[in-house]
Structure 1
Amino acid sequence: MNANDRTPADLLRSALAADPGRPLVTFYDDATGERVELSVATFANWVAKTANLLQGDLGAEPGDRLALLLPAHWQSAVWLLACASVGVVAEVDGDPGGADLVVSGPDTLDRALACGGERVALALRPLGGRFPQPPAGFADYAVEVPGQGDRFAPFAPVDPEGPGLVVGGEELSYAALVARAREDAAKLGLGEGSRVLTRLGYDTWEGLSAGLFAALATGGSVVLCRNPEQLSADGLAQRTESERVTHTV
């Protein structure tokens, strides 16, 4: 990876330039049996479309606050990188009432209604499916994102020292986020080609780092497991072998 990368969007660009075809995020939902694998190129395409939606249709600007009410999921990872691409501050499990925008899963729609700005809902169905009935007061992400452009350019440069992420009550700049991700990767012994299986949620820095940022910072990939309590010890061992996991968190 490029040592000069200072934002998550920089890291993704470097990953795309290095090897667009390699896996980046492999997602399992052990309550439904869903498995989705996204290469660097496919993930970057989702990020570009989502960033275009965020900047264009939703009118988000650098410094705006987005309450991200989503579990550990591949689409959550996409939104985190889309926010970083635009310069929007992603507040993980943030207060919708104090946010400029909110992005919600199906289980937090009532809470998300407190946001007075733009509201986006994700059904979190297999293959990114839409809601059978669109929730009132929300744009359905699965309806809005497919028509967005496949390439993204921010209207204004993203400041690496500007606020980028709020998680667990702590605010990190983009540069601090990247630096901490690199530190975590070094502690875990991650390097190019490492494959991290994580059963942590996205509601803590540890979960976000293990489930996305540390691998992205070092040329690795993640196997992200939702509802891991549904997976037996034998099932975990089989997944570790079949996915060629090098590190488990």
Structure 2
Amino acid sequence: MNATDRTPADLLRSALAEDPARPLVTFYDDATGERVELSVATFANWVAKTANLLQDELNAEPGDRLALLLPAHWQTAVWLLACSSVGVVAEVGGAAADADLVVSGPDSLDAALACSGERVALALRPLGGRFPQPPAGFVDYAVEVPSQGDRFAPYAPVDPDEPALAVDGARFTGAELVERARSDAAALGLGRGSRLLSGHSFGTWEGLSSGLYAPLAAGGSVVLCRHLDQLTPDGLEKRVESERVTATAR
């Protein structure tokens, strides 16, 4: 990655320029058997579409607060980078009533209704599938995002010294987030080509760092596992081998 990168969106742009074909996020849900692998290019495409949805359809602006009510999931990672691209503050597990807009999974729709702004719902179904019946009061992400543009340009430059992320009582600017991610990557021994397996939730900085930011900052990739406790020790050993995992955080 480039030393001049100062926001998560910068890190993604550098990764895309360096090697767009390499894996970036490999996601497992051990409750359903789902596996999804996204290259840097595919992940960046999802981020661009989501950022365009945020900016053009949901009218989000730099400094707006987005309550992100999603579990550790590849689509959550997409939303985190889309927020960074627009300059929106991603408040992971934030109070919907205090946010300008909310993004919710299927298990937090009732809490998300407290938001008076735009509400987006994700079914979190395999391959990014839509809800069988759209939830009332919400935009279905899977319906709206495919038609968005494949390239994104913010209307206003994103200031790396402005707030970018809030999680578990901690707040980070874009620049602080990148610096912390680089430090975590070094502590985990990550470098270019590293494969970090993470079973942490996204409700803490540790989970967000191991599940996205540290591998991205290091030029590596993440094997993100939801419901990892449902995998047997033998199954975990086989996954580590088959996915060429070089480090773990769980």
Q: TM-score range by the shorter chain?
A: over 0.9
Q: Secondary structure at the match of 2:234?
A: helix
Percent identity between the aligned chains? 78
- Determine whether 1:14 maps to 2:14: yes
For 1:45-194, what aligned pairs fall within 5 Å after superposition? 45-194=45-194
- 1:50-109 deviation per Cα after TM superposition (whole angstroms, max 9, x unaligned): 000000000000000000000000000000000000000000000000000000000000
Q: Secondary structure at the match of 2:183?
A: helix
- Determine whether 1:4 maps to 2:4: yes
Q: Which amino acid aligns with 2:123?
A: A
Q: Secondary structure at the match of 1:75?
A: helix
Matched residues in 2 for 1:36 and 1:189: separation? Answer: 25
Matched residues in 2 for 1:39 and 1:189: separation? Answer: 22
Q: Which amino acid aligns with 2:124?
A: L
Q: Which amino acid aligns with 2:31?
A: A
Matched residues in 2 for 1:12 and 1:121: separation? Answer: 25
Q: Please report the TM-score for the alignment, with normalisation by the length of structure 1.
A: 1.00
Q: Residue 187 of structure 1: CA displacement?
A: 0.6
Q: Secondary structure at the match of 1:71?
A: coil
Matched residues in 1 for 2:230 and 2:207: separation? Answer: 19
Q: Secondary structure at the match of 1:145?
A: helix
Task: Tell me how many residue pairs correspond in the alignment.
Answer: 249
For 1:196-211, what aligned pairs fall within 5 Å after superposition? 196-211=196-211
Matched residues in 2 for 1:165 and 1:20: separation? Answer: 26
In structure 1, runs of 5+ residues without a counterpart are none
Matched residues in 2 for 1:188 and 1:32: separation? Answer: 29
Matched residues in 1 for 2:189 and 2:131: separation? Answer: 41
- Alignment partner, residue 34 of structure 1: 34
Q: Which amino acid aligns with 1:235?
A: G
Q: Which amino acid aligns with 2:212?
A: L
- 1:33-61 deviation per Cα after TM superposition (whole angstroms, max 9, x unaligned): 00000000000000000000000000000
Q: Secondary structure at the match of 1:146?
A: helix
Matched residues in 2 for 1:56 and 1:236: separation? Answer: 42
- 1:102-139 deviation per Cα after TM superposition (whole angstroms, max 9, x unaligned): 00000000000000000000000000000000000000
Matched residues in 1 for 2:178 and 2:248: separation? Answer: 21
Q: Which amino acid aligns with 1:225?
A: C
Q: Residue 196 of structure 1: CA displacement?
A: 0.2
Matched residues in 2 for 1:155 and 1:232: separation? Answer: 48
C-alpha RMSD of the superposition: 0.3
Q: Which amino acid aligns with 2:25?
A: V
Q: Residue 162 of structure 1: CA displacement?
A: 0.2
Runs of at least 4 residues off by over 6 Å: none
Q: Please report the TM-score for the alignment, with normalisation by the length of structure 2.
A: 0.99
Q: Secondary structure at the match of 1:197?
A: strand
- Alignment partner, residue 243 of structure 1: 243
Q: Residue 229 of structure 1: CA displacement?
A: 1.1
Matched residues in 1 for 2:27 and 2:186: separation? Answer: 24
Matched residues in 2 for 1:78 and 1:130: separation? Answer: 16
Q: Which amino acid aligns with 2:104?
A: S
